[in-house]
Amino acid sequence: MTAASPAGGTNAELFERACRVIPGGVNSPVRAFRSVGGTPYFVARAEGAHTEDVEGRCYVDLVQSYGAIIAGHAHPRITEAVQRAVADGSSFGAPTEREVLLAEAIAERVPSCEKVRMVSSGTEATMAAIRLARGATGRSRVVKFSGNYHGHSDALLAESGSGVALLDADEAGSVPGSVGVPSSAVADTTVVPYNQVPTLDDTVACVIVEPVAANMGLVAPADGLLAGLRAECDRVGALLVLDEVITGFRLARGGAQGHYGVRPDLTCFGKVIGGGLNVGAFGGRADVMDHLAPLGRVYQAGTLSGNPLATAAGLAALSLLDDDAYLTLAATGARLATGLQHAFDEAGLVARASAVGPLVGLYFGDHVPVDYADARRTDEAAYAAFFHAMLDRGVALAPGAYEIAFPGLAHDGGVVDQIVETAAESAQTLTPG
Q: Which active-site residues does the annotation give?
A: 149, 243, 271
The amino acid sitting at 59 is Y
How big is the CA angle at 160 (ends 192 and 288), to the nearest 5 degrees?
70
Alpha carbon distance 286, 290 (integer Å): 6
The Cα angle at residue 362 between residues 127 and 414, in degrees rounded to 5: 110
Q: Concatenate the DSSP letters of all residues of 7-46 into one string.
A: GG--HHHHHHHHHHHSGGG-SSGGGS-TTT-S-PPPEEEE
374-383 — which CB contacts under 8 Å span 24+ positions? 374/219, 375/147, 375/161, 375/165, 375/216, 375/217, 375/219, 375/402, 376/165, 376/169, 376/172, 376/216, 378/217, 378/402, 379/350, 380/35, 382/349, 382/351, 382/430, 383/36
Would you give the DSSP letter of residue 207? E
- Separation of first and last alpha carbons in the chain: 37
Other beta carbons within 10 angstroms of residue 2's beta carbon come to 8
In angstroms, the Cα distances linking 176 to 129, 151, 168, 365 are 20, 13, 14, 28
